[in-house]
Amino acid sequence: MHRIKSPQKNNKYKVKFLPFSSTVSVSSGTSILDAARKVDLFLKTTCGGIGTCGDCVVRIKSGTYQSKLSSALSDELVRQGYALACQTEVNDNLTIQLPQFQELSIKSVSESKFFEEHKNSISGIYEINPDVKSISLRVPPPTLEDNYSDLKRLEREFRKKLAIEDLNCEYSVLRKLAHVVREEKGKITIILFKQRQSWTIIDVKEAKAAKNIYGVACDIGTTTVVLYLVELTSGKILSTASSYNQQLKCGEDVISRINYAQKPGRLQELHKLIVMTVNNLIDKATQSAKISTADIYSASISGNTTMIHLFLNLEPRYIREEPYVPTFNQVPIILSRDLGLKMNHEGRVYCGPAVGSYVGSDITAGLLCTPLVRDSKKISLFIDAGTNGELVVGNSDWLMTCACSAGPAFEGSGIKCGMPATEGAIEQLKIKNNGDPEYKVINGSQPKGLCGSGLVDLLAELFIHGYIDRHGKFNVQKAKDRLIEDETGTAFLIEKANNSYWGKDLIITERDISNLIRTKGAVFSACSLLLKNAGLTFDKIDAFYIAGGFGQHLNIENSIRIGLLPDLKRNKFHYIGNSSLLGAYLILLSDKNREMVNEISRKMTYIELNTEPSYMNEYTGALFLPHTKMELFPSVKQILNS
């Protein structure tokens, strides 16, 4: 029997996209852009794939290729292996890195001075008393007289050290026990997990094999995921790892993810993607700290309600449907092996409590890092501006919270030259009198784009210097020398192509400005409305804690000038960075914080802004620089008048 080989088969090539490990087989001649789309990786293309915008840049790690020439990519970048996906055809097996999705080093976001300086005044307790402990024992060998079982003898020795009544033991420990207690003259180390008054032995090792024990604290954001690897005995953070949430290819915001999960098999897919994201970070962190993943016994996770649902493989659809009720508020302790996390297979995973569908453990945990819940007299406001914005107002007596769909503009998404606060991002910016912007880039390289704090600065400077009007439209007369026409309309030039990392103009368009104004408007109006609901005004607020992915150098003055934050004494504001992650870290360090965060979640009253009739009015009022009611911003008025 002879079969003719299909001729097409020879012309199919495999293309692998990093960091997702998505592989697709395509016919020769397919553009990389189309190949990426086949595996649902939608690269940005402002020009529609004709090679002029340079947005779809990729880096080809292996395989031979040839690209059409394009002015949108500098020769230097071409030499480094970069190519435009729309201008490059597949004619070989290729491995391609997608810079739009590449791993990040979000150092500047997670490192917060505030936490270091206020460790002892925050609501959470800064102490090293984790619920996983290791204890060294010497279990005497059995004799004819002392013929207690191995476990009984172990318990007896253990109780000499700690008077614990309720002590349990995992099956996997029993399986090792006989062997381990007979090595090294009974010198062993046991790992215990404590839940309330009950202790469970989750691992046993020969003393000489025992090393330190570790935990991870992880913030699962809609856009980015950040993880600390922590030495549990000292509380020391050994390494930090971060990356985009690999679910990004399934939708940018939580609603899109919930939507995506509605088709059969998709929930499982989203679940796997987020577990994979976390596992990659664990790998990265443990490799850099040179430890074994088997020595990680505890994980503390925080994230918004949808992310935690997906992480736990729970049906998310009821989060978005009226009356917006999630599956859980408090999650039971879960075994790492049930989730497939790269930890010790008896490792315990704790997810923080959610208040409602749109206020999750990123917020409850975040509150631990602020003094908000500690004080019964002062009233404070906490704002977490991520892909969604969440707000909390209150004190130790009461807490009110709400969420608003701010949009991810301050995380750099949805803005043409926006990016997260990572290497290459402009994090601070000023416009000089001659109109030239002066800026600082994270890690000092050539700028790739602007992160949240840079965008806040840019917007404020454009406004204060009169390059845009209060509606965010360019003042053509004033700005004409720096305005260029782009496919998306008129844009202000921040940096010319030859000085930028990607070799293309860094610009901000009127559309970007509208987007930023919408985002700041959503945050500000949600704040005013939340306060109104509580019967308060801004001047009654003693402190503002601002969290989120803006970047380390969020300029409070400029945030006020654009009307993102209210015009109050500047020393009331504190930028606290990624409080969700820090909160997860505090919970990892002490089980008292776990109780406290549960207590916080029970105290919170959730306000649904969607059903609040005056929301639209507050919102349109905030869609102006700094606000339609200038009297709310006296200091900005003064600057404009002078």
Partner 1 sequence: MPLSGLDIFKLLPKTNCGDCGVPTCMAFAMKLAQKKAELSECPHASEEAKETLGAASEPPVRLVKIGKAKPLEIGNETVMFRHEKTFFHQTGIALQLRTSEDEEQLLSKIKEIENYKVERVGEELKADLFFISHDSEEKDVFLKTLQLVKQNSTKGIILDCPDKEALKEGLDWLKDEQPAIFLKEEVTDKDIELAKNHNASLVLTAYSFDDLARQSEKAKQAGVNDLILNLASKNAGLQLQHNTIMRRSALKKNFKSFGYPLFTFIQGENEFDFLAKASLFLCKYDSIIVLPRFNKAMLYTLFTLRQNIYTDPQKPIQVDPKVYPIGEPSPESPVFVTTNFSLTYFIVSGEIENSGISAHLVVCDTEGQSVLTAWAAGKFVGEKIAAFIKDIKLEQQVKTRKLIIPGFVSQISGDLEESLPGWEVIVGCQEAADIASFVKTVKLT
Partner 2 sequence: MNFEIPKETNTGKIVEVTIGATAEQGGTRSHTVTIGGHTSLPFHFFEGEHPHRPVIAMEVFDKVPAKYPGSLMDYYHDVIDKPADMAKKCVEEHGAELISVRLEGTHPEKGDKSADEAAELVKQVLKSVSVPIIITGHSHFEKTNEVMKKVCEAAEGENCLINYAETDNYKTIAAACIAYNHTIVAQSPMDVNLTKQLNILLTDMNFPAEKIVVDPLTGTLGYGLEYTYSIMERIRNDGLGGDKMLAFPMLINPGYESSRVKEARVSREDYPEWGDQELRGAYWEIATAVSLLAAGAELLIMYHPKAVEAVKKNISEAFDLKNGD
For residue 49, the one-letter residue type is G
Whose tokens are 């330190």? That residue is: 212
Query: Choosing among partner 1, partner 2, none, which partner's interface includes residue 535 (Cβ < 5 to 8 Å by kind)?
Result: partner 1
Part of the chain binding partner 2 (CB under 8 A), chosen from 14-22, 99-107, 420-428, 624-632: 624-632
Q: How far is the CB of 96 from partner 2 (least distance, A)?
A: 42
Q: Looking only at residues 599 through 618 of this chain, which bind partner 2 when binding is defined by CB under 8 A?
A: 617
Whose tokens are 């995921």? That residue is: 225
Query: Choosing among partner 2, partner 1, none, which partner's interface includes residue 153 (Cβ < 5 to 8 Å by kind)?
Result: none
Q: Between 361-368 and 579-589, two packed helices, what is the crossing angle to 10 degrees?
A: 70
Q: Which of 418, 626 has the CB closer to partner 2? A: 626
Q: In the set 283, 338, 397, 539, which binds partner 1 (CB under 8 A)?
A: 397
Q: How far is the CB of 483 from partner 2 (least distance, A)?
A: 15
Q: What percentage of the chain's residues is helix, strand, coil (to nearest 5)?
A: 35, 25, 35
What tokens does 47 get?
């020009």
Q: How far is the CB of 475 from partner 2 (least distance, A)?
A: 10
**320 belongs to the binding site for partner 1 (CB under 8 A):** yes
Q: Which of 350, 474 has the CB closer to partner 2? A: 474
CB atoms within 10 A of CB 136: 12
Q: In the set 161, 471, 480, 496, which binds partner 2 (CB under 8 A)?
A: 471
Distance from CA of residue 521 to its chain's centroid?
22
CB atoms within 10 A of CB 16: 18
Part of the chain binding partner 2 (CB under 8 A), chosen from 99-107, 342-350, 391-399, 467-475: 467-475
**268 belongs to the binding site for partner 2 (CB under 8 A):** no
Q: In the set 469, 539, 595, 599, which binds partner 2 (CB under 8 A)?
A: 469
**490 belongs to the binding site for partner 1 (CB under 8 A):** no
**398 belongs to the binding site for partner 1 (CB under 8 A):** yes
Of 380, 383, 381, 302, residue with least CA distance to 586: 302
At 234, give phi and psi (nearest 5°): -110, -15
Query: Choosing among partner 1, partner 2, none, which partner's interface includes residue 256 (Cβ < 5 to 8 Å by kind)?
Result: partner 1
Residues 6+ apart with CB under 8 A from 172: 202, 203, 345, 346
Q: Which of 157, 253 has the CB closer to partner 1? A: 253
Q: Which of 59, 320 has the CB closer to partner 1? A: 320
Separation CA 107–CA 442 (nearest Å): 10
Separation CA 32–CA 37 (nearest Å): 9
Residues 6+ apart with CB under 8 A from 566: 524, 527, 538, 541, 544, 560, 632, 633
Whose tokens are 């339609």? That residue is: 628
Report yes or no: 422 and 393 within 8 Å, Cβ to Cβ: no
Query: Choosing among partner 1, partner 2, none, which partner's interface includes residue 42 (Cβ < 5 to 8 Å by kind)?
Result: none
CB atoms within 10 A of CB 207: 16
Q: Is 127 helix (H, G, I), strand (E, B) or coil?
A: coil
Q: Which residues of 610-634 are buried (b: 16+ CB within 10 A; e: fewer)?
A: eebeebeebbebbbbbbbeeeebbe
Q: In the set 104, 399, 458, 556, which binds partner 1 (CB under 8 A)?
A: 399
Report yes or no: 240 and 406 within 8 Å, Cβ to Cβ: no
Taking only Cα atoms into account, the Rg of the chain, rounded to an integer number of angstroms, comes to: 27
Report yes or no: 464 and 508 within 8 Å, Cβ to Cβ: no
**480 belongs to the binding site for partner 2 (CB under 8 A):** no
Residues binding partner 1: number (CB under 8 A): 27
Q: How far is the CB of 610 from partner 1 (least distance, A)?
A: 5
Q: Which of 504, 603 has the CB closer to partner 1? A: 603
Query: Choosing among partner 2, partner 1, none, which partner's interface includes residue 156 (Cβ < 5 to 8 Å by kind)?
Result: none
How many secondary structure helices (H) and strands (E) does the chain include? 21, 27
Q: How far is the CB of 258 from partner 1 (least distance, A)?
A: 8
Q: Which of 414, 621 has the CB closer to partner 2? A: 621
Separation CA 308–CA 331 (nearest Å): 10
Query: Choosing among partner 1, partner 2, none, which partner's interface includes residue 292 (Cβ < 5 to 8 Å by kind)?
Result: none
**624 belongs to the binding site for partner 2 (CB under 8 A):** yes
Q: In the set 18, 276, 289, 536, which binds partner 1 (CB under 8 A)?
A: 536
**218 belongs to the binding site for partner 1 (CB under 8 A):** no
Q: Which of 291, 355 has the CB closer to partner 1? A: 355
Q: How far is the CB of 322 from partner 2 (least distance, A)?
A: 24
Residues 6+ apart with CB under 8 A from 634: 567
Chain residues in the site for partner 2 (CB under 8 A):
469-471, 617, 620-621, 623-624, 628, 630
Chain residues in the site for partner 1 (CB under 8 A):
251, 255-256, 259, 317, 320-322, 324, 397-400, 405, 533-536, 602-607, 610, 613-614
